[in-house]
Amino acid sequence: MARVSPTLLSLALLCALPSLAAADQPDPRERTCIDRIAGMLVRVGEDKLASRLKRDFSKGRVQFGKLDPGETAAAGKDFLDRLTRKPNVMTLNREKAFQQVADYRSASGVNPLLLGWAATIAHEYVHMDQVNPTETAKHETPAWLESADAMRRWLGVFHRDFERARGMKEPERSRLLAELETYVGELSLLCGAMAADVRKLIEHRNALGVRSPKVDPSKNYGFAQTKPHADNLLRNIRALRRTTAKPGTGQPPATPAKGRFVWRRQSAGYAMIYPDAVAKYKAENGFFSTGAEGIVQFGYRVGNEQAKFALTWNPVPDTLTPGQSIRMTVKVSDIGCTAENVGAGGGGCEVWIQRSPDGPWEGWFINQPGVETKGRQAPQSRDYVFAVPEAKPGMRLIVKTTVFDTLIGSEFVVVYGCE
């Protein structure tokens, strides 16, 4: 995380010159970045670190600069300290920070990338407190151990939030669960990435014949151990999200307004449910997913093997009459897995209803068992039978076919309006 780049050093030296000290006003996006990262630190219980970050930014000890694109931040340049007689300085990659923090927009308002920035700050502050940090195992190991510890602590925070969510009322509960799903998904990705980083640092130094790698190869950093706990929590969050709305029975309404109003298809489309995680996961795991009405194909790498599945179903009619019984047959098949049991693919069917514009979506037919198969195993199918609910003007209905059991969920959604 803290590689010394020549660009950084020259920049740091330039910044120390009095003529440049009174440079123009900092870009307001710098403060936005600091405020948002500090907010994330508070969110995961690191209040002290958050205050320290804000204080150090106002004192110029945390600054923004041009770093190599791969670098997020750098801290602790010992000879810079001797030259300026100032304490260590932390430099954040300006371009990357603006892109990932200040200018970042997401539909949900939750930015998962902030978690990685918070982890970087925790790591770099270890270097800030080292007297003469250089890139040796002696200095990097404590910083990486802190990164690993932070992952464990923050997973604990999310775990407690998840337990808290169980007792909450709507809509707060759904909001918290959605936020937790984003952050815990990101934490899992970070643990995987950092485990790989540590491995690469060790391999890289060994390959160059440098005697002491930057991190201690004998240490167990624990990223790989934390990841399955994060994945487990993620599964529980998703399962609770599915049961958050009142479980619908899919039974015909007590007084079906047959013949008065019908549900008419307004739109249909295929979407990823966790778009923020997709880009990262795609690159790392060869993930792909394409969908159209009646079929979604998806796959990912598992080690050296490839998992590849298709989910198919009979499209729902364009018009639905209240009380009508609808049968959806959802089938999942291996379409090119390279080994037996490699990965798992599956899906299911759900129906949700919105009784007034802007009102909450209620589950009409949810929590049904899913259908699943594994590499080189027989296709599996399942019939989902539900009754079409009563319709009144202003109401909306969605019928979705969901894909699950990959890290990234996706769904094909058909939206109906009442007329």
Q: Which residues bind Zn ion (CB under 5 A)?
A: 1-2, 140, 143
In the complex with Zn ion, which residue's Cβ is closer, 1 or 277? 1
Min dist. Cβ of residue 90 to Zn ion (A): 11
Min dist. Cβ of residue 145 to Zn ion (A): 11
In the complex with Zn ion, which residue's Cβ is closer, 62 or 272? 62
* H or E segment to which residue 305 belongs: strand 305-313
Sequence-separated (6 or more) residues with CB below 8 Å from residue 55? none
Q: How many CB atoms lie within 10 A of CB 313?
A: 22
Min dist. Cβ of residue 123 to Zn ion (A): 6
In the complex with Zn ion, which residue's Cβ is closer, 215 or 233? 215
In the complex with Zn ion, which residue's Cβ is closer, 125 or 364? 125
With 0-12 CB in 10 A as exposed, 13-18 as middle and 19+ as buried, what is 351? buried
Residue nearest to Zn ion (CB): 2
Q: How far apart are CA 85 and CA 342, in angstroms?
A: 58
In the complex with Zn ion, which residue's Cβ is closer, 71 or 276? 71
What radius of gyration do the chain's Cα atoms show?
26
In the complex with Zn ion, which residue's Cβ is closer, 53 or 143? 143
Q: How far apart are CA 19 and CA 215, in angstroms?
A: 39
Distances (CA, A) of 23 to 16, 19, 121: 11, 8, 25
Min dist. Cβ of residue 340 to Zn ion (A): 42
Q: How many CB atoms lie within 10 A of CB 86?
A: 13
End-to-end CA distance of the chain: 58
What are the φ and ψ backbone dihedral angles of 215, each rounded to 5 degrees?
Answer: -120, 155
Min dist. Cβ of residue 143 to Zn ion (A): 4
Min dist. Cβ of residue 119 to Zn ion (A): 11
